[in-house]
Structure 1
């Protein structure tokens, strides 16, 4: 499967169609994507937990949105590296989507390298796109992003979707931080006990 699937260029694969159809069963994902053009975020993507956790919930027979703590949006604006600029974008998104009543976190991937080491204890490279931020999630099966376009949905899944549906949890060689990986893996497995955790791919 191609890692970046654009229906304007080619149809989504059957597995990608299944993924998109499942993540929009979460009414919060669906509402965020329905408002996507109004958000007007440069290189914007709905990412991570709100997507793969929706899929895992459905595989476990739970409500699509059950236990999902927040909804993460990435964008990329290299013209404004400031925390104040990011805060202004966060505030604008909250004005548009605050009616949903769920936490939405908006992060400019152009500035992650400025704060990541202080927060997580490891250096982080300066990125060139929001997709590079998706590439670096601690667990490869969780590296997913979706956005709406005029013609449908774009899906970015650099490691494919097979390992996500298989529930395979392994470290990402791009961010080989085992302590952080083990904490996150334990958290996920405590909620979805059928996940398979391996420290070697």
Structure 2
């Protein structure tokens, strides 16, 4: 087996421990996790590429932040006004201004207001939590989040498990008609991490 696949097929607990270890070993990710915790942002999660790209970099010997363009953050606030979200965006932009990567924060309670138009999806029910959005990603591989608790413990959220990440496999999630997004993100991942396999979208 290739060295980068050494954690593929391993028990879930072992894979969760590996993700946590990689995050704790990366100062930028810990700065974001600690900043979110200290900000007390409701139902906050560090999500997606910042996590699975970090894992791929660690397993292939690349620099920890290679290929990571930004750090996505979810939170869930029942106030769905743009004004309330804008306050949070500006506050966290100031908090994380010194980091080498931009932090993009979005209120998941508002996603149903813009997602259908942006992605040409006609049926998108309002979300009830930040974690629920992970289950609607175009690729199951991208559905991963992390949260740091007040006592320092870390939670890893992965509705489809973590084996696709550790298998370097981008797998489609047909819950929404997101073929274009799956293929675009898969192609981009393959261009940065040639070890990745992109599973074709099946109609």
TM-score (norm 1): 0.88
Whole-angstrom CA distance in 1 between matches of 2:180 and 2:37: 38
CA contact (8 A) 2:121 2:177 kept: no
Give structure 2 stretches of 5+ with no counterpart.
Answer: 1-11
Instruction: Please list, as runs of the form range in 1=range in 2, the aligned pairs for 1:18-167 lying within 5 A after superposition.
Output: 18-78=18-78, 80-123=79-122, 124-151=124-151, 152-167=153-168
CA contact (8 A) 2:139 2:170 kept: yes
Whole-angstrom CA distance in 2 between matches of 1:198 and 1:101: 32
Aligned to 1:86, the other structure's residue is in SS state helix
1:200 Cα deviation after fit:
5.3
CA contact (8 A) 1:43 1:76 kept: yes
Whole-angstrom CA distance in 1 between matches of 2:150 and 2:84: 27
C-alpha spacing 1:200/1:29, structure 2 compared with 1 (3 Å):
same
For 1:79-119, what per-residue CA distance to the aligned partner results, in whole angstroms no more than 9, with x for missing partners?
Answer: x1111111100111112221214211110000101011221
Whole-angstrom CA distance in 2 between matches of 1:19 and 1:132: 20
Tell me the equivalent position of 2:178. 177
Tell me the equivalent position of 1:197. 198
Q: Which moved more, 1:151-160 or 1:169-178?
A: 169-178
Superposition RMSD on alpha carbons, in Å?
1.6
Moved over 4 A (4+): none
CA contact (8 A) 2:73 2:103 kept: yes
Give structure 1 stretches of 5+ with no counterpart.
Answer: 1-11
TM-score (norm 2): 0.87
Whole-angstrom CA distance in 1 between matches of 2:103 and 2:88: 12
CA contact (8 A) 2:179 2:201 kept: no
1:34 Cα deviation after fit:
2.3
CA contact (8 A) 1:74 1:130 kept: yes
Whole-angstrom CA distance in 1 between matches of 2:172 and 2:97: 34
Q: Which moved more, 1:142-151 or 1:92-101?
A: 92-101
Q: Which moved more, 1:117-126 or 1:162-171?
A: 117-126
